[in-house]
Amino acid sequence: MVLNPPHALLEQMAQRLSARGSLRIVMLSDLGFEYGAGAAMRRQIQSLLLDGHEVAVVCAGSLHEGRVVAASDPGVAALVPRGREFSGTWLGVHSVPAAACMDSRQRRRCDPELLAMVAWLQPDLVIAGNLHWAGWSAAVLEALTRRGIATVAYMHDLHHLTGRCAHPYTCRKFLTGCDASCPTAEKYPALSSELIADEWMVRRHVFVETAVPLVANSTWTKASADAAFGNAATVDIVRLGVDTKLFAPIDRSLARHLLGVDEKPTVLFGAVDVGQVEKGGVVLQHVVDILQREGINFVAFGYGSAAYRGVRGLGYVSDERQMPILYAACDCYLSASAVESFGQTVLEASACARPVVTLRGGGIVDIARDGVNGRTIADAEPRLIADVVREIACDAAARDHFGAAGRLIAEREFSLDAQAASWRAWMSSQGEPRASREQGQSMSEARP
């Protein structure tokens, strides 16, 4: 049987890995290390460098005052996890600002400068993550394979499946055809309605006809991709990881002293933009209103956090080294997000041995396990959520039990080493028949 070009290139990549023990990898993204997907990519890079690979980033740039500008290289010292050393080589951040700012009125581009930059780095593998802000078309992935570069699309969200949005939520048009009737065309990442159908078709061409493979961050994200492409695309899972030496338990009293929190039960919630309706919005405010009257404190982080009544809003926290203090100071971490494709904050809270309360939707349930490291709730009804939060936040024994279980889950399944092992297993498996890889994937997904 003649293999499709992307599969043949990935076979060659697997052979080089077997022969050399490491690869040269380019991570492709829009805004480099910024925001949620940027933090996830940073952690992927840490895992790959710990595993001995050479790694570079190619991105449109970073966001500054609403404009995309050249991204700065943080340097290898800023990437090294706490108490660790890299055996791999950091090749830096390379911006392609000519591709820069997303313009909703412009057709997405297959930028020749981007292709030239990636080719110049001579990668064995390109891992393409979020391209929201870059103005790049998904056709870039096909163009890279035509240049003989093994390429895979990593799904931080559902943007690789839709005509423009990162999360369709209740909209199901991505299954049958996104088009000019898109109900959220003006929302981030915005795209003129008349361009949406073409972008939806480009993704079908790239991931089904050309067969560029996808790797999902959770069981739910993979299931969404399988549904979107009718199981005709190649979709695997490599879950994200976190530095479990940085995100680790801290003395609660010390954390509260540093944060200036009193001894009342305290609940933490947050996101990059926690003011978004999809992140909980009105539901979170109702929960706060109910529990604040009972003497429970609320602290929030992220853009929009200051808009909540009765909540100590900390704004966007850009330095992740501060985050373990926030988690340690709280008695419970709450996520009322409508859908999370993975749920990095829930993982961070669990790694810090904090119990979590979440809604039972999306990929968050890969981490948040009902009755194990907290509670997952099927219904976004504020009084029900408040009852569960109260039950945990006011019960020291429950907090300790759920927190210890969450820490164990993070260490066993979501450490940087676990992520590195998952990526290496995925890379090595590309030289195997698809049926064998699917069987191995199913076994790896089984929880201990």
The mean pLDDT of 262-282, rounded to a whole number, is 92
Q: Which residues contact 353 (CB under 8 A, 6 or more apart)?
A: 248, 249, 403, 404, 406, 407
- Residue 338 pLDDT exceeds 70: yes
Contact 59, 53 (CB under 8 A): no
- Residue 4 pLDDT exceeds 60: no
Helix ranges restricted to H, 217-260: 219-228, 252-259
pLDDT at residue 435 in the model: 58
pLDDT at residue 439 in the model: 56
Rounded to whole angstroms, how far apart are CA atoms 127 and 113?
18
Average pLDDT, the chain: 92
Domains 5-241+416-445 and 252-413 share a fold: yes
The mean pLDDT of 325-337, rounded to a whole number, is 96
Higher pLDDT, 65 or 448: 65
Max alpha carbon distance in the chain (Å)?
Answer: 68
Q: Extract the tokens encoding 330.
A: 């709280």
Rounded to whole angstroms, how far apart are CA atoms 196 and 182?
8
- Residue 35 pLDDT exceeds 80: yes
Beta strand ranges found along 327-397 (DSSP E): 332-335, 356-359, 374-377
Confidence of residue 1 (pLDDT cuts 50, 70, 90): very low
- Whole-prediction pTM value? 0.93
Query: What CATH number matches the domain at 252-413, 3.40.50.2000, 3.40.50.300, 3.30.565.10, 3.30.465.10?
Result: 3.40.50.2000
Rounded to whole angstroms, how far apart are CA atoms 127 and 117?
14
The mean pLDDT of 378-389, rounded to a whole number, is 95
The mean pLDDT of 348-357, rounded to a whole number, is 98
pLDDT at residue 12 in the model: 96
Give percent of the chain above pLDDT 90.
Answer: 83
Q: Which of 69-78, 107-116, 204-213 has the largest mean confidence?
A: 204-213
Pairing mode, if any, of strands 62-64 and 67-69?
A: antiparallel
CA 71 to chain CA centroid, nearest Å = 20
Confidence of residue 357 (pLDDT cuts 50, 70, 90): very high
Name the DSSP letter for residue 136.
B
Helix ranges restricted to H, 121-207: 139-146, 173-176, 193-204
Give percent of the chain above pLDDT 70.
Answer: 95
Name the DSSP letter for residue 433.
-
Q: At what angle do helices 139-146 and 112-120 cross, to 10 degrees?
A: 50
CATH number of the 5-241+416-445 domain: 3.40.50.2000
Q: Tens digits of per-residue pLDDT, 168-181?
A: 999 999 999 999 99
Rounded to whole angstroms, how far apart are CA atoms 259 and 270?
16
pLDDT at residue 228 in the model: 97
pLDDT at residue 275 in the model: 87
Q: What are phi and psi of 334, to 5 degrees?
A: -115, 130
Confidence of residue 391 (pLDDT cuts 50, 70, 90): very high
Contact 142, 206 (CB under 8 A): yes
- Specify whether the backbone of 35 is left (phi greater than 0), alpha (psi in -120 to 50) or beta: left
The residues pairing with 356 across neighbouring beta strands, listed in sequence order, are: 333, 374
Contact 181, 196 (CB under 8 A): no
Pairing mode, if any, of strands 89-95 and 214-216?
A: unpaired
Confidence of residue 448 (pLDDT cuts 50, 70, 90): very low
What burial letters (b/e) apply to 242-251, b meaning 16+ CB within 10 Å?
bbbebbbbbe
Confidence of residue 444 (pLDDT cuts 50, 70, 90): low
Contact 159, 207 (CB under 8 A): no
pLDDT at residue 103 in the model: 74
- Residue 268 pLDDT exceeds 90: yes
Nearest to 256 by CA among 334, 328, 180: 328
- Residue 411 pLDDT exceeds 50: yes
Confidence of residue 276 (pLDDT cuts 50, 70, 90): confident
Place of tokens 């991204």: 71
Question: Domains of the chain: which residue ranges?
Answer: 5-241+416-445, 252-413
